[in-house]
Amino acid sequence: MTRFVLEYHLVAYRRVWRGSVLSSFVLPLLTMLGFGVGVGTYVTGGVDGVPYLDWIVPGLIASTAMQVAIGDSSWPVLGGFEWQRIYFGQAAAPLRVADILDGHLAFVVFRTLTSCAAFLVIATAFGAMHSWWALATLPVAALVGLAVATPTFAYAATIRVDSYLAVLFRLGVIPMSLFSGVFFPVESLLGPLRWIAYALPLWHGVELSRAATLGVAPAWSLVGHVLYLSLWAGAGWLLAHRQFTRRLVV
Amino acid sequence: MTLIHARGLVKRFGDFTAVDGIDVDVQRGEAFGFLGPNGAGKSSTMRMIGCVSPPTGGVLRILDLDPHRDGPAIRARLGVCPQLDNLDLELTVRENLTTYARFFGIPRKVARARADELLDFVQLTERAGSKVEPLSGGMKRRLTIARALVNEPEIVLLDEPTTGLDPQARHLVWERLFRLKQQGVTLVLTTHYMDEAEQLCDRLVVMDGGRIVAEGSPRALIERYSTREVVELRFNAESQDVFAGKLAGVGERLEVLPDRILLYVADGDDAVAEVQRRALSPASVLVRRSSLEDVFLHLTGRTLVD
């Protein structure tokens, strides 16, 4: 049943995909040029022995995964309950709450994967990929996507007005993008801030992504990173399922 | 065959009791109505029948299945037209039907064919390719009804099917629902419009405050709880009350509303003659047949639509 819900979201996406494909390519291109090439010229020594551009690209891929996943699970989920109310229509069909949730999550993963694949293509053109392991950034992106999308689903299913989403972006998304080792190593952060970076999901994705594109082993345990991201995804799913059930089965 | 069977059905939200122990039986092929004002518990009842709201107490069986255990299996055989439209405004009219059909596991090809048939049925074929957003309220409602029929349901649940529509759009919806009824589809609807209930329902229950206060066919309810005719009198005065005493004994019963007095009588013309004999001069006089509105007023002391 989940696939029928995914199919619905893909049909709906067909109306807007052109615009989103353009932004999937243009945005990474601009960030590459701005941060990698622009800022990179000033970081003459590189980071960890690699040019700044090559160091920053895998972080940007993971960060893109996070931003696309949260973007696609915030307003669309809130709207599914409050504006177009499509979830209520789905709940009247022979779908279970888990089907409705999983179908929409699958679509968010699809969006995350396609956006990151576009980024990967552009970055490869810039010569920032050091290894075939770079392809592993895609499953990592999917995992990061799930780790942040599921709690966002839960949050968006709880609030009633979209001003709370601005709070999520200001206090969640932006700080997480800035302090998760995307632009500079988290080791530069002061003690407590560094622990916040460790606790948030993005840093783990950035570490995995970077190890993949540079073709080296991650500094911490690979399994540990994967399990930690899975923990976010699993706990987020349970919360999202609880909130969806509260709204749809009353 | 009994498609919906409820005994002592209760729905509570915290301290608030929305549905307070109702008994309902709906037979196959019947058009069954829940009539009552806003807040009577109609929508809560519909949501329990639609298997999206677990009952707090009592017995509920739909299609001889248990909603708690067999929710998806029951929903596969229901068509639901909710009170608030939840169409996808970005999709086309046709895509709204085809994507929804897929939720029932209907193959794509069948879904497309059925979408075309249904668009024809609700007279939206010309709008098949347009987005839903610019459609009028009546068109959206008809599309929602078409969507409710996409799985060829055994029961169609319609929650306030014409609320918010202009008279012309309402009549078009009624006409389509009447066609469905003629085809033998079981219809269950809620409404606070007595004319809607009278036109569409073979049998109905009158609900008030979460309880059923009367049950029967529209005609039987009127015969039982009202007189054949009603005389509506309006007096040019601050309060209609003072005239109530002067009308004592005219007809079987009398209701005083803020703006008019209703006289329940067997023969309206006789009653009007009697009013004139008593030298009362109302600003307006209207003789009409009794309706379900009068039944509701008699049973609850309140009007259906405030």
Delimit the domains of chain A by residue range. Answer: 2-248
Mutate: best of A3, A4, A9, A87, partner B, most B CBs <10 A: A4
pLDDT over 70, % of chain B: 99
**Cβ B88–A86 below 8 Å, yes or no?**
yes
User: What is the DSSP track for chain A?
Assistant: -HHHHHHHHHHHHTTTHHHHHHHHHHHHHHHIIIIIIIGGGT-TT-BTTB-HHHHHHHHHHHHHHHHHHHHHHHHHHHHHHHTS-HHHHHHHTT--HHHHHHHHHHHHHHHHHHHHHHHHHHHHHTT---SGGGGGHHHHHHHHHHHHHHHHHHHHTT-SSTHHHHHHIIIIIHHHHHSSSSSS-GGGS-HHHHHHHHHSHHHHHHHHHHHHHHTS--SS-HHHHHHHHHHHHHHHHHHHHHHHHHHH--
Burial of B184 (0-12, 13-18, 19+ CB in 10 A): exposed
Closest residue on chain A to B91 (Cα): A12
Please report the ipTM that was assigned to this predicted complex: 0.91
pLDDT over 90, % of chain B: 79
Mean pLDDT of the residues in chain B: 93
Say how far apart CA B96 and CA B131 lie, in whole Å.
Answer: 9
Instruction: Write the residue in B73, B75, B102 that is nearest to A7 by C-beta.
Output: B102
B305: confidence class by pLDDT, cuts 50, 70, 90 = low
User: What is the DSSP track for B79-123?
Assistant: EEE-SS----TTSBHHHHHHHHHHTTT--HHHHHHHHHHHHHHTT
Top pLDDT among B66 and A42 is at B66
| pLDDT reading at B195 higher than 90 | no
Contacts of B110 in chain A (CB under 8 A): none
CA B257 from chain center: how many Å?
24
B306: confidence class by pLDDT, cuts 50, 70, 90 = low
A96: confidence class by pLDDT, cuts 50, 70, 90 = very high
Closest CA of chain A from B129, distance in Å: 13
Write down the pLDDT at residue B16: 96
Contacts of A84 in chain B (CB under 8 A): 86-89
Query: Nearest-5° angle of CA B250, CA B256, CA B258?
Result: 145
Handedness of CA B48, B53, B56, B58 (dihedral sign): positive
Closest residue on chain B to A85 (Cα): B86
Q: Which three-class secondary structure state does DSSP give residue B63? A: coil
Cα separations in angstroms, A70 against A64, A241, B12, B57: 10, 17, 36, 40
Q: What is the reported pTM?
A: 0.92
A46: confidence class by pLDDT, cuts 50, 70, 90 = confident
Structure tokens at B53: 């709201």
**Cβ A248–B13 below 8 Å, yes or no?**
no
Closest CA of chain A from B81, distance in Å: 9
Cα separations in angstroms, B233 against A214, B17, B266, B282: 90, 38, 16, 6
Q: Which three-class secondary structure state does DSSP give residue B183? A: coil
Delimit the domains of chain B by residue range. Answer: 2-217, 227-289
Say how far apart CA A167 and CA A77 lie, in whole Å.
Answer: 16
Cα Dmax for chain B? 74
A35: confidence class by pLDDT, cuts 50, 70, 90 = confident
CA atoms within 13 A on the CB side of A209: 37
Contacts of B89 in chain A (CB under 8 A): 84
Closest CA of chain A from B40, distance in Å: 17
Say how far apart CA A180 and CA A178 lie, in whole Å.
Answer: 6
CATH number of B227-289: 3.30.70.980
CA atoms within 13 A on the CB side of B5: 9
Contacts of A248 in chain B (CB under 8 A): 52
Say how far apart CA A133 and CA A120 lie, in whole Å.
Answer: 12
Say how far apart CA A147 and CA B279 lie, in whole Å.
Answer: 82
Q: Which three-class secondary structure state does DSSP give residue B68? A: helix
B73 touches chain A (CB under 8 A): yes
Taking domain B2-217, whether its CATH number is 3.30.413.10 is answered by no
Q: Is B21:B37 a contact under the CB 8 Å cutoff?
A: no
Closest residue on chain A to B75 (Cα): A94
**Cβ A12–B91 below 8 Å, yes or no?**
yes
Say how far apart CA B207 and CA B34 lie, in whole Å.
Answer: 7
pLDDT, tens only, B221-251: 999 999 999 999 998 877 788 888 888 888 8
| pLDDT reading at A25 higher than 90 | no
Contacts of B47 in chain A (CB under 8 A): 250
Mean pLDDT of the residues in chain A: 93
